[in-house]
Structure 1
Amino acid sequence: MCGGRGTRLDTDVEKPLYRVDGLPMLDRVRTALVDSCIESIRYVVSPHTPRTREHLDRDVVEAPGEGYVGDLQYALARSDPPILTVATDLPLLDGAAVDRVLDSHDTGSLTVAVPAACKRRLGVSVGTTMEVDGETVAPSGINIVGEDEGDRTIVIDDERFAVNVNHPSDAAVAEALLQ
């Protein structure tokens, strides 16, 4: 998912192209996916990310730009499940982390969440939270949309899933962790 403007980052750069430790977040996530056992990758862009569209050379889905959920639904309607969805604001993601999610999936849909306490410990923004088994967790930005009935949430206490870059302070944390 690479259709975000990045308004909370307070920059003129589109969110997917926002650089963390010298590289656009999109390229960091793309490398993680290439280094995983994923078979094919499609990039969902929007009218809000024309430079991102230019940055990508192929496999692009042009969504209408109705926000993350609307654009995700648009892309899902044009794909066959199961589908791994990944936000481009996860610059610490690597192939092993992606494979960990894939290995956790068997059927249905899978939501990956991180403990809100982990995000606070790292000093990154928390955003949306939910309760899972009595623990306050935050969606990580990586999920699997399955073809069968049944949804499951797994909680992973791992900085690779916990650092979503939504604010300049989040980027600073990501850069420090990448050092």
Structure 2
Amino acid sequence: MVTAVIMAGGKGTRLKLNGEKPLLKLKDRPMIDWVIQNLKKSSIEKLVVATSKHTPQTHKYLENRGMEIIKTPGNGYLEDLKIILSYFEAKDPSEVLLFISSDLPMVKGEIIDEILSRYHESHLPAMCVAVPLEIFNKYDLKPSFVWEGIVPSGVNILRSLNKIQDEEVILVPKIELALNINTCHDIKVLERLLVIE
């Protein structure tokens, strides 16, 4: 079974919002709703959201919708990841977890399924999905982190084991995976692409 975990506990300080980033409205819908809808159109079997002390309104919003939620301390991605892995490891250490950031509203179900297909073909327990730097340059986007000409996308797959896992890095040259909503410029690019759709 594959469970998707939406990481929705970050502060979102770069956007300088009055509210919480997962609840940022895109075409009159909270950004996290776009992520949830896309995952529901994939072959993902279960959906969980990780919130933190930084996103109490997001937690309340999702709780009212009956979503399964894991509360994390919000002290950093890696610390939260360890807590989530321990939570799932206690239930089923063989479970496959697909992690996706709540600020990736354009990653459609077919892209998720393409990534999962490549994961199931791999012989390693973990996978990091990256985007070529050229995609960022083409759309005038600023990556948060660049490693050897590629940029981690915010989508990863791990087994539910709280330990370092061997991973395959795959390159998926799609704007949908590059467009993390971190700045006002990112929102403008997203709005242009949503109009095109």
TM-score, structure 2 normalization? 0.84
- 1:147 is displaced (CA, Å) by 6.1
Q: 1:31 — aligned with what? A: 37
Task: Evaluate the alpha carbon distance shift between residue 147 and residue 74 of structure 1 in structure 2; reply closer, same or farther with a 3 A threshold.
Answer: closer
Alignment counterpart, residue 139 of structure 1, candidates 146, 152, 155: 152
Q: State the SS of the aligned residue for 1:43.
A: strand
* SS class of match (1:105): helix
The answer for the alignment partner of 1:82 in structure 2 is 96
**2:70 corresponds to which residue?**
61
CA contact (8 A) 2:52 2:74 kept: yes
Letter in 2 for 1:151: E
Provide the aligned C-alpha RMSD in A.
Answer: 1.4
**Given that residues 90 and 165 in structure 1 are in contact (C-alpha distance below 8 angstroms), is that contact kept between their aligned partners in structure 2?**
yes
Within 1, Cα distance between the matches of 2:160 and 2:51?
24
TM-score, scaled relative to structure 1? 0.92
Return the offset for 1:158. 0.5
Which amino acid in 2 is paired with 1:87?
S
Match of 1:96, as an amino acid? E
Equivalent pairs: percent with the same residue?
Answer: 33
* Aligned position for 2:131: 114
Structure 1's unaligned 5+ residue stretches are: none
Deviation digits for residues 78-127 of structure 1 (CA, Å, limit 9, x no counterpart): 11431100001111111111111111102410000001110121122211
For residues 19 and 141 of structure 2, the distance between their equivalents in structure 1, rounded to whole angstroms, comes to: 20
Partner of 1:129: 146
**For each residue in 1:6-51, what CA deviation from the matched residue of structure 2 results, as whole angstroms up to 9, or x when unmatched?**
1100111211111223321110100111110000011000011000
Q: 1:73 matched to which residue of 2?
A: 82
The 2-side partners of 1:119 and 1:23 are apart by: 25
Asked if the contact 1:16–1:88 (Cα under 8 Å) also holds between the matched residues in 2, the reply is: yes
Task: Indicate which of 67, 87, 94 corresponds to 2:108.
Answer: 94
Cα pair 2:85 2:160 within 8 Å, conserved? no
Q: Does 1:3 align with 2:12?
A: no
Partner letter of residue 138 of structure 1?
V
Alpha carbons 1:109, 1:150 under 8 Å: kept: yes
Given that 2:129 and 2:169 are in contact with CA atoms closer than 8 Å, whether structure 1 keeps it comes out as: yes
